[in-house]
Amino acid sequence: MTTVEFSPAAEPLAAKLLEPALEILGRYPAGRERSALLPLLHLVQTEEGFVSPNGVAFCADLLGINKAQVGAVATFYTMYKRRPTGEYLVSVCTNTLCNVMGGQEVYDELSEHLGVGHDETTPDGRITLEHAECLAACDYAPVVTVNYDFTVDQATPESAVELVDSLRKGERPTPARGARICSLREMQVQLAGFADPREGAVADGVAGAPTLRGVRLAQEHGVAVAGFDPDTPITKTKPARDETALPPKPAEPAESRLAAVAKKVAGTVKSAVGTVSGAVTARTGDVKDPEVRAAESRNPTADTPGEPETTSPAPTTPAEKAGVASNEPAGDGKPAGDSTRGERIVSEQAAANKPIPSVKEEGK
pLDDT digits (tens, 9 = 90+) for 60-91: 999 999 999 999 999 999 899 999 999 999 99
3-state secondary structure of 271: helix
For strands 88-93 and 127-132, give the pairing.
parallel
Task: Count Cα atoms within 13 angstroms, Cβ side, for 178.
Answer: 17
Beta bridge partners of residue 144, listed in sequence order: 92, 152
Higher pLDDT, 285 or 191: 191
In whole angstroms, give the CA distance from residue 134 to residue 254: 47
Predicted confidence at residue 226, as pLDDT, reads: 80
Instruction: With a cut of 80, say whether residue 290 has pLDDT above it.
Output: no
Predicted confidence at residue 181, as pLDDT, reads: 87
Q: What is the pLDDT of residues 172-230, one digit of tens each?
A: 888 888 788 889 999 999 999 998 877 767 666 677 788 888 888 988 888 888 887 87
Predicted confidence at residue 260, as pLDDT, reads: 73
In whole angstroms, give the CA distance from residue 43 to residue 59: 10
Give the Å distances, CA to CA, from 121 to 10, 117, 296: 26, 8, 97
First CA to last CA distance, the chain = 107
Predicted confidence at residue 205, as pLDDT, reads: 64
Name the least confident of 28-32, 244-248, 259-263, 357-361.
357-361
Predicted confidence at residue 246, as pLDDT, reads: 63
C-alpha dihedral (49, 53, 56, 61), degrees to nearest 10: -130
CB proximity list for 137: less than 8 A, separation 6 or greater? 93, 143, 150, 153
Predicted confidence at residue 364, as pLDDT, reads: 47
The one-letter amino acid code at 357 reads P
3-state secondary structure of 322: helix
* DSSP state string for 11-77: HHHHHHHHHHHHHHHTTS-TT-GGGGHHHHHHHHHHHHSS--HHHHHHHHHHHT--HHHHHHHHTTS
Q: What is the pLDDT of residues 312-346, one digit of tens each?
A: 667 777 777 777 677 666 555 555 445 566 667 66
CB proximity list for 173: less than 8 A, separation 6 or greater? 151, 163, 166, 167, 181
In whole angstroms, give the CA distance from residue 290 to residue 276: 17
Cis upstream peptide for 142 (omega within 30°): yes
Is the pTM higher than 0.95? The answer reads no
In whole angstroms, give the CA distance from residue 335 to residue 174: 108
Mean pLDDT of 112-124: 94
Instruction: With a cut of 70, say whether residue 361 has pLDDT above it.
Output: no
The residue count of the chain comes to 364
Predicted confidence at residue 1, as pLDDT, reads: 47
Mean pLDDT of 342-359: 65
Predicted confidence at residue 289, as pLDDT, reads: 67
Instruction: With a cut of 60, say whether residue 2 has pLDDT above it.
Output: no
